[in-house]
Structure 1
Amino acid sequence: MTIATPLVDNWYEERETGRQFRIVALDDAGDTIEIQYLEGELSELDRTSWDQASIVEIEAPEDWSAPFDDVEIDDLGYSDPDLHLPDTDDLTLDDVLEDEDKEPY
């Protein structure tokens, strides 16, 4: 029933539900298609379900990033503001001189 070929980063619409989604990954080994709906929900379809569904390729929605507008940088999992530098407030002159004697990395 499907007339669209699944391609990563392309947008599609389920005709029966009207839900729009994009393909985020194709797993040839597992014969599955990983999708992300416009609302942000992740899901997975097997090839049989894809072939039986009424899915058409569409243009990317105008505001497709809307589900991620309220995501804070900290929520992304890679924004560590701590530079992991030693606390220099408690250093003495002896500490600084000892560091000069150490071998560089």
Structure 2
Amino acid sequence: MAQAITAERGQWYKRLDLDENFEVVAIDRDEECIEIQYYSGEIEEIDEASWELLEIAPIAPPDNWSGAFGSDNRVEFEAQADSLETALNMVDNSN
């Protein structure tokens, strides 16, 4: 059985079965789903029951943590953000 690791928005994890890194980009407690984005840019939505079965480990963000964001605005956010959480809040507030 996989170790239960709580999903945290902005936290990076490594999927041990796929040997891929991803970030939790959104958590919807009402819908019981977690949206993740792999470093390659692919986005996946996982229900909480499936999350608990994943073989994952928390990791430090990659040096270029914005690499997964396919946005032309990422340079602007990088220049203004002093942390990942600040950048995420800027994205949330820009909508």
* Superposition TM-score, scaled by structure 1 size: 0.61
Gaps spanning 5+ residues in structure 1: where? 74-105
Deviations 1:15-66 (A, max 9, x none): 1111111011111111000111101111111111111110111000112223
Corresponding residue for residue 61 of structure 2? 60
Which stretches of structure 1, 4 residues or more, deviate above 4 A after TM superposition? Answer: none
Corresponding residue for residue 51 of structure 1? 52
Give identity over the alignment, percent.
33
Cα distance change of structure 1 residues 18 and 26 upon mapping to structure 2, 3 Å threshold: same
Q: Paired residues, what number?
A: 72
RMSD over equivalenced CA pairs, Å = 1.7
Larger Rg: 1
Amino acid at match of 1:20: N
Structure 1 residue 37 corresponds to structure 2 residue 38:
yes
Q: Which has the higher helix share?
A: 2
Matched position secondary structure for 1:44: strand
* Superposition TM-score, scaled by structure 2 size: 0.67
Structure 1 residue 13 corresponds to structure 2 residue 14:
yes
Gaps spanning 5+ residues in structure 2: where? 74-95
Matched position secondary structure for 2:65: coil
